[in-house]
Chains A and B, each alone.
Chain A
């Protein structure tokens, strides 16, 4: 078995790190740079930045955050959200990203995946798939951060993305996202078993046992985790309440999100280790 990568995922709206449920109802948690720094120092294998409103506004606004963050952080950084052209991709790579994540533009224009893989190398291109389970049991791909249905079947699309030259697939269960109810192991396994490129599991990371099962049952190669890391880190990350934009009521209240059982990267990696799942030690 390969070494599993543990990837904190940072959803960003404007200048803020946010977190929602099912990709909606965003709450401000703090500054992305502070969380990124904290995760870097405490054993993150990579970082994943997603501009969660970019596709809606048809622009990615993470260049400044990335160029500040990439300057003194020496692990891979992936950036997604609103990237529609080769030039968009070039710009975030220039700002210091190592990889880009394509969702909406990739489904609407699959040729972009092929062109981008050819120009920047397959390993630079992550295709992100947002899946929603249908009453008949099928998984369909959604775009615009889970807002719009495409009618595209997830497993078929994953296979196509690999053929187009994607280097990795990030599979998100929108149904589970932000709920901490656990990864959708069935979804992850379906995708991981049909492609020969690494698959990153995302959406719903719950108990430590469930996180381990994304690897042992779901056959994922990497874990993208947001809520349970963010809520474990909020007290430790520099408490700077200079947030003028967004829904900060939650942040100011000092409350925690009830159903989420926070764990930090060390706890996750220790659990993986005792479950005989190899990963880079901290």
Chain B
């Protein structure tokens, strides 16, 4: 059975590597901005790099907001990556206040200029950083199934998510003393701040887990 994964093209982000990673995981992925094609996909990915406000404006200008909401309502798997993860939230403070898709309640805020010791912080965070499982959370029914705690993933971002409901947090990471949500999950929605498609073998495992879930309706 061919599993069709639509990668939303709204003019932002490196779609090439996400497409490659999907195919590596056995998914039949394609890049599209066509609402009809999106609606017939088995799963949907919202990618993105750049600024939050520009991205939301671009989604609106391409008439992609309604197709995304419609897709999420069907219950089919939906994943946001990097800026695509941040867009799932209610709003962002990036260059003024911007409203997001509000699929997950919470805020997007910037890393501060200094850490608790008063030392200046380098932003963006660009590094391989570790992911941890929050207390009372399990990765067994998620894209992180069988990925060891403490695995290093590739991160590139200046802003981070603060979910209102802690139960939405799937993984935690720490940058300059700030512990924050580096992945979230709510019903059929998964959001990942890091770049699994740039995190070598363990990153591809995330796509493979997701592919298994799309196929079998369980992780």
Binds B, one of A56-64, A118-126, A171-179: A118-126
B129 contacts A3, C-beta separation under 8 Å: yes
Are A196 and B121 interface neighbours, CB within 8 A?
yes
Inter-chain contacts of A93 with B (CB < 8 A): 14, 16
Once the chains bind, are A121 and B203 in contact (CB under 8 Å)? no
B203 touches A3 (CB 8 A): no
A63 CB, nearest partner CB in chain B, Å: 12
Q: Could you tell me if A120 and B127 are in contact, using CB atoms closer than 8 angstroms?
A: no
Q: Is A281 an interface residue (CB 8 A)?
A: yes
Tally of chain A residues near chain B (CB < 8 A): 34
In the complex, B178 has a CB within 8 A of chain A: no
Task: Closest B residue to A98 by CB, please name it.
Answer: B14
Contact A76 B154 (CB under 8 A): yes
User: Smallest CB–CB gap between A241 and chain B, Å?
Assistant: 30
What 1/0 flags go to A75-118 for Cβ under 8 Å of B? 11000000000000000011110100000000000000000001
Known: A70-B16, A122-B158. A197 touches B128 (CB 8 A): no
Q: How distant is A98 from chain B, measured CB to nearest CB, in Å?
A: 6
What CA separation (Å) do A241 and B113 show in the bound complex?
A: 51
Most buried by B among A72, A76, A122, A222: A76
- In the complex, the answer to whether A74 meets B197 with C-beta atoms within 8 Å is yes
Question: Are the C-beta atoms of B157 and A2 separated by less than 8 Å?
Answer: no
Cα distance A48–B154 when bound, in Å? Answer: 16
Known contacts A74-B21, A75-B200; is-contact A281 B152 (Cβ 8 Å): yes
Neighbour of A74 across the interface among B17, B128, B156, CB < 8 A? B17
Return chain B residues, CB-CB under 8 Å to A280. Answer: 128, 152
Residue of B whose beta carbon sits closest to that of A43 = B200
Decide: A75 near B154, CB < 8 A? Known: A70-B16, A70-B20, A197-B122: yes
With A74-B200, A74-B203, A280-B152 known to touch, is A198 a contact of B126 (CB < 8 Å)?
A: yes
Q: Which residue from chain B places its CB closest to the CB of A97 in the assembled complex?
A: B14
A210 close to chain B: CB less than 8 A? no
Q: What separation, in Å, do the CA atoms of A255 and B113 have in the docked complex?
A: 50
Within 8 A of A (CB), among B92-135: 113, 120-129
Cβ-based interface call for B37 (8 A): no
The reply on A27 being an interface residue by CB < 8 A is no
A221 contacts the other chain (CB 8 A)? yes
Does B203 lie within 8 Å of A5, measured CB to CB? no
Inter-subunit contact B122/A5 (CB<8 Å):
no
Asked whether any CB of chain A lies closer than 8 Å to the CB of B24, the reply is: yes
Tally of contact residues, B, Cβ under 8 A: 37
Question: Given A74-B197, A74-B204, A123 and B124 touching (CB < 8 A)?
Answer: yes
Within A32-63, which residues are at the interface with B (CB < 8 Å)? 40, 45
Give the shortest distance, in Å, between B58 (CB) and chain A (any CB): 11
Q: Give Cα A72–Cα B94 distance, bound, in whole angstroms.
A: 34
* Interface: B90 (CB within 8 A): no
Taking CB as reference atom, which chain A residue is nearest B152? A280
CB distance from A146 to the nearest CB of B (A): 26
List residues of chain A with CB within 8 A of the CB of B125. 2
Q: Are B126 and A221 in contact (CB under 8 A)?
A: yes
A120 and B49 contact, Cβ closer than 8 Å, known pairs A196-B123, A197-B123? yes
Please report the C-alpha to C-alpha distance between residue A71 and residue B19 in the assembled complex, in whole angstroms.
10
Closest Cβ–Cβ distance, residue A36 to chain B (whole Å): 13
B51 lies within 8 A of chain A by Cβ: yes
Check B199 for interface membership: any CB of A closer than 8 A. yes
Residues of B within 8 A of A5 (CB): 126-128
Contact yes or no, A121 B199, CB < 8 A: no
Once bound together, how far apart are the Cα atoms of A98 and B15, in whole Å? 10
From known contacts A74-B24, A98-B14, A121-B51, infer whether A167 and B124 are also in contact, taking CB-CB under 8 Å: yes
List residues of chain A with CB under 8 Å of any chain B CB. Answer: 2-5, 40, 45, 70-72, 74-76, 93-96, 98, 118-124, 167-168, 196-198, 221-222, 279-281
- 8 A–B contacts from the bound complex (CB under 8 Å): A5-B126, A75-B200, A121-B12, A123-B126, A123-B158, A167-B124, A196-B121, A196-B122
Given A70-B16, A281-B152, 6 new contacts (CB under 8 A): A2-B122, A2-B127, A3-B127, A75-B199, A121-B51, A123-B124
